[in-house]
Amino acid sequence: MEPDDPSAVRRLLLVGFMGSGKSTVGRLLARRLGWTFLDIDEVVASREGRSVARIIADDGEPYFRRLEHDATMEQSEQDRVVIATGGGWPVVPGRLEALGAGAASVWLDVPVEELVTRLAGSEAVRPLLREGTSEARIRSLLERRRSFYRRATVTVDGSGAPEEVTERILDAIPGLRGPRDAHPTQERLS
């Protein structure tokens, strides 16, 4: 793919459940591509001067959702950017489909058992899980969201080490790997 090809992917949005690795993998991926990394939760929290948990506790989830959507839409106008979206952002009909040309969305699909392990003890910092991180709770929320996440441009296995997940994304989206990036090394990621 030529660099000025208008159909080339110029921005990537990582979507998926809490704990699926959007921020960790997003940072690695951005570094790998030489692109900017943005975490929408961080953008919103910094604009508001308080954490996402505090915003939701003080002003409610609908208020947070508006801020989250506005921030995601603004930031996704940039080029050469990897964006870690919040886990609830794509869970509205038409959200992913409305992303314009040049954007690709990636669902980091992580088995529920691995999510349960990753999310254990995070009740205080994850408002959507304040009632608990039991497998039943995580499974039921994930089941309600799965059909939305599935609409992403590509689905990538998000289990295992973030470096491996990063490689899977580079493999899954045509044109992301430059000719000199065909043989990744662990070293380059560190």
The residues binding ligand S3P (CB under 6 A) are 18, 22, 41, 52, 86-88, 126-128
- Given the complex with ligand S3P, which of 137 and 177 has the nearer CB atom? 137
How many Cβ atoms from other residues are within 10 Å of residue 8's Cβ? Answer: 17
**Closest separation between CB of residue 56 and ligand S3P, Å?**
7
- In the bound state with ligand S3P, the residue whose beta carbon lies nearer, of 127 and 184, is 127
Q: Which is nearer to ligand S3P, 79 or 143 (CB)?
A: 143
Contact predicate 110/125, CB 8 Å: no
Q: What angle do CA 141, 124, 139 make, to 5 degrees?
A: 15
Q: Which is nearer to ligand S3P, 41 or 109 (CB)?
A: 41
98 or 125: CB nearest ligand S3P: 125
Give min distance, CB of 119 to ligand S3P, in A: 9
Calculated CA dihedral for residues 62, 96, 148, 112, nearest 10 degrees:
-90
State in angstroms the smallest separation of the CB of 128 from ligand S3P. 4
- Looking at the Cβ atoms of 51 and 102, the one nearer to ligand S3P is 51
Q: Name beta bridge partners: 12.
A: 82, 104
Minimal distance, residue 131 CB to ligand S3P, in Å: 13
CB of 89 to ligand S3P, least distance (A): 7
Residue 126 C-beta: closest distance to ligand S3P, Å: 5
